[in-house]
Structure 1
Amino acid sequence: MLKRLQLQDYKIPLLFIIISTLFYISFAYNLERTDSTKLITLYTALFIFFYKLTRISRNHFKLLVAAAIAFRLIFSVAIPNLSQDFYRFIWDGRMLLQGLNPYLYTPESFISLGQFPVAQGQELIAGMGTLNASHFTNYPPINQLCFAIAALFSGHSILGSVVVLRVLIIAADIGTLYFGVKLLKRLKIPVSNIFWFILNPFIIIELTGNLHFEGVMVFFLVWSLYVLHQNKWKYAAVLFAFSISVKLIPLLLLPLFFKRFNTNGVFTTYSFKKLIGFYAIVGGVTLLLFAPFFSFEFISNYSKTVGLWFSNFEFNASIYYLLREIGFWYSGYNQIAVIGKLLPILVIIYVLYLAVFTQQKSYITFIKTMLFAFTAYLLLSTTVHPWYLTTLLFLSVFTNYKFPLVWTYVIILSYIAYASPTTSENLWLISLEYTVVFCVMVWETTAKKRHMLFN
């Protein structure tokens, strides 16, 4: 009778997993980015089953872990269908193995010479597209190491390189699961919260499916946060530097460590020295990782490339698009060059405000400040690609906030822009996306009866 009851408990979850498996197979091997109807339908179905599965099976930890890994393995030999960035990853990795500094050359520069220094060079340049090929790479050194590993194991096969990159990303997700659960236990938060991240179709599709390395960055970030909670701040600083060296965005969070090293809300000489030591290790390790690529030309190219994200590129923005319309009305042309420089300053001011004036009564409050710092960054950005939400969703696991979870669903609307050959955005759909996100966020931050995990 007991075994029958246990089997009955697994009946519906297994049904959801089987159906989700079929949808993931269709998503991975039978979907074109331009087919918006199929894209939205499949993603919606996967999100519904993910939500129901996480809710009804939160106590079946091993089952959900097995499902999360199985869903990722479905993409094993699939070529990413929602992003072209992986072609640039493969190009950079093969450049490194040829002894060439990928920060000093644009792929496009080789076209005019009729020379392609890497295997399948023409195919890679065609795949990454003109925009990507015309700019210098902006991927930090640990990211470049991952690209080089793919080139080392598969230097003449695009699919082979994709498989290697995917293995690295899946391994990072498993690491995030491991340290995420350990940190949740230390903070006395239900470990089932990790499945809002690890089982989310957004994470599975954008990281494992489309090969975005935000997952590797999050792995080092959660590892750093875990050992910092154990007061191993030197170890945490090294890991935080590794996170920065995958994606630069954790730099935004550095000021928030200001109050993590004080004693009962007051800085002592000892705590101040630890804080300075933490920042020194983070900065030193980061510079050390960049050192093999260093040159004045590298500094010029890298700073210009990073600056383009604030002054030239625009996609799926919220507050920026409102300011852009005001700029059009005022001057008659796009003011991105001005607005793009102003918005990062506002983000920095807000982060510094959180660092100095927010009371960090607990470690959860500390993570909460990170959540809102990153939220401000996204809302004030000129470009918000779907995979940018990875860090926000991860941080929400340690709070009761669900607006990041909602956002990971509605952001699929941004992909409808690719249904047009000119990648034309539908501002009504973007308005719908952000209206939903803002409404949920405002409700969660103002509802008086809402029970918070932090105090």
Structure 2
Amino acid sequence: MVAVQRPSSSLRRPAVGGPARASLRGLPLAIGGLVSVVGSTAVIATASAAWWPNLVLVAAMLLLGGIAWMITRRPAGPRAVLGILAFAAVCQVPGLTLAPITSTDAYRYVWDGRVQLSGTSPYSHVPLDDALARLRDPILFPGLSPADRSGVTGPPRIPHDPAALTALSADDPRTRINRPRVPTIYPPVAQAYFTAVAFLTPWSAGTFGLQLAAAALAVGVTALLATELRRRNRDPRWAVLWGWSPIVALEAGSAAHIDVLAAALLVAAVITAARRAPVITGLLLGAAASVKLLPLLLLPAFTAVRRHGLTTPLVAVGTFVASYVPYVLAVGTLVVGFLPGYLGQEGFSDGSSRSAILGLVLPPMARQLVTAVLAIALALLAIRLHGRQPIAVTCCWLYGAALLLTTPTYPWYGVPLIALAVLAGRAEWLAVPVASYLAYASFGHELRQGLIHLTAALTVITAISLRHRSGLRRGPVPRAGGSAAGMIPPS
């Protein structure tokens, strides 16, 4: 059967009704943007309850998928991308009007930046340290003035005993900063970001500077995605799955999580990789890893067993290591901060609070072994598929599979996956970050958490199976360099 190509929009018969009918083309976009804004506001406004915000979040994400499908059924007008960006900015506004909701991490970000501006290292001093009393203010320390003494001095020794570790990392009612008795865990590029924002933000603004910066980053990623989708002959309006996402609204303008910065760097790395710029790609990937360690898991996607196939991963690792050098020279081994304690507390050392899906059928130690074997197998598969499918697709399933295998406690870890799913055209992976929020609301209920993550995994597997069967019926698909390879079908 010979495929019939649809005529381009410039050759179509003029629409009946002239300008009046043409103006209606923007109606789905306007309605979709309004619903997304209302949905994001509802999620933020109901966040005081335990389950309601998560149920609203699921409904909002399902509605967002329908909106994306609806607005891409019509030809894109010349101002479509501008409309998407405008509504993406408006979606961030509700979060900017309130203090962070999903976590208190932003207060730690503010503190780390302030400490560095004072000429001290957040790796060698803890927030309650009396040596830094002059840096306290009523927003970060509502119960502790600069004249008060906390009794804490110097960096602590991180214990191995779980009970002692829990006691050391407990919150303190005198400050909004979480884990105020331990040093920071955040890598150097994240620290540079905190410092830059702190330099531009007065103390009286609290976390607002970081919230505004994260909101701007989220809108910037929307523009980056839309531009790249258009370059690949994709409908740029699919970028709404990121820009209008209530999850992005929660974790950018509201919580100011640095995962948004990691997402921006990862998207840029994938784009430059597709344009065959291995050194720049490595620099971006290494910078992303120095914001949040998870991007290191994507190194296999950028690795090929051939000449120059190791350029990107080597540059990425070199960039990551080099970012630590100034801090190592300043504080020595203290540069690791609380990272070992954090990994132990979060269950990476014994597998007790990770791998919720495998936890449905396996004990902790066996869970760890199976997770390691599966992770290695996925890494080898990613290396083998290099050049055979778009790198965005490989990064998407590799990152998503890592989240399903380890099932992190904190749902904002999945924010970069949203951007990768849009870029790869694999919308089914959005089920993973959504499931993470439901599991977050079920903290302490391991069976329920495992079933929630399992549902997300089955959703992804089902979608992949259906796509594979559809591909078999259609015949061969374009190679990785093709304009539509691995992408959601254009409208």
Q: TM-score, normalised by structure 2?
A: 0.75
Larger fraction in helix = 1
Offset, 1:378: 1.1
2:427 alignment counterpart: 402
Q: Is the 8 A contact 1:256 1:351 kept in 2?
A: no
Is the CA contact 1:139–1:246 (under 8 Å) kept in the aligned structure 2? yes
Name which of structure 1's ranges 342-351 and 246-255 shifts more when overlaid on structure 2: 342-351
Question: Are 2:92 and 1:56 equivalent residues in the alignment?
Answer: no
AA aligned opposite 1:290:
Y
Mapped partners of 1:241, 1:174: distance in 2: 23
Is 1:145 equivalent to 2:189 in the alignment? no
Alignment correspondent of 1:116: 133
Secondary structure of the equivalent of 1:184? helix
1:436 partnered with 2:455 = yes
Residues 16/394 of structure 1: CA separation in 2 closer, same or farther (3 Å cut): closer
How many residues are treated as equivalent by the alignment? Answer: 418
Describe the superposition over 1:19-40 as per-residue Cα deviations: whole angstroms up to 9, x where unpaired.
4434434544x4343x135413
Residues 316 and 430 in structure 1, CA contact (< 8 A), matched pair in contact too: no
Q: Which segments of 5 or more consecutive residues in structure 2 lack a partner in the other structure?
A: 1-16, 144-171, 472-476, 478-484
Cα distance in 1 between the residues matched to 2:41 and 2:486: 39
Question: 1:115 Cα deviation (Å)?
Answer: 6.0
Q: Which residue of 1 aligns with 2:150?
A: none
Q: In the alignment, residue 360 of structure 2 is paired with which amino acid?
A: L
CA pair 322-377 structure 1, distance change in 2 beyond 3 A? same
Q: Does 1:374 align with 2:393?
A: no
- SS for the counterpart of 1:398 is helix
Q: What CA distance in whole angstroms lies between the structure 2 residues aligned with 1:117 and 1:31?
A: 37
Correspondences of 1:375-390 after superposition (within 5 Å): 375-381=400-406, 383-390=408-415
CA contact (8 A) 2:301 2:386 kept: no
On the 8 A contact 1:343/1:380 being kept in 2, the answer is: no
Distance 1:15 1:382 in 2: 35
Q: Structure 2 vs 1, CA of residues 355 and 45 (structure 1 numbering), >3 Å: closer, same or farther? A: closer
Which of the residues 85, 92, 114 maps onto 1:65?
85
Q: Secondary structure at the match of 1:101?
A: coil
Residue 413 (structure 1) aligned with residue 438 (structure 2):
yes
Determine the C-alpha separation between the residues in 2 that align with 1:344 and 1:431: 15
- Using a 3 Å threshold, how does the CA distance of structure 1 residues 92 and 258 change in structure 2: closer, same or farther? same
Q: Normalising to structure 1: TM-score of the pair?
A: 0.80
Identity rate of aligned residues, in percent?
18
Q: How far 1:86 sits from its partner (Å)?
A: 1.1
* Structure 1 residues 391-435: Cα deviation after superposition (integer angstroms, max 9, x where no partner): 222222233433222233343323434xxxxxx533454244224
Q: Distance in 2 between matches of 1:313 and 1:349?
A: 17
Greater shift in the superposed pair: 444-453 or 141-150: 444-453
Secondary structure of the residue aligned to 2:388 is coil
The reply to whether residue 225 of structure 1 matches residue 270 of structure 2 is yes
* 1:425 aligned partner: 444
In 2: Cα distance, 1:388 partner to 1:65 partner: 24
Counterpart-to-counterpart distance in 2, 1:339 and 1:436: 22
Deviation of residue 450 (structure 1)? 2.8
Give matches, 1:307-346, under 5 Å. 307-308=343-344, 309=346, 310-311=348-349, 317-322=355-360, 326-327=362-363, 335=364, 338=365, 342=369, 345-346=372-373
Q: Is the 8 A contact 1:78 1:209 kept in 2?
A: yes
* 8 Å CA contact 1:94, 1:148 repeated in 2: yes
Q: Distance in 1 between matches of 2:449 and 2:213?
A: 33
Distance 1:314 1:341 in 2: 9
Q: Distance in 1 between matches of 2:446 and 2:57?
A: 21
1:257 maps to which residue?
A: 302
In 2, the alpha carbon distance for the partners of 1:400 and 1:237 equals 23
Q: Distance in 2 between matches of 1:392 and 1:127?
A: 36
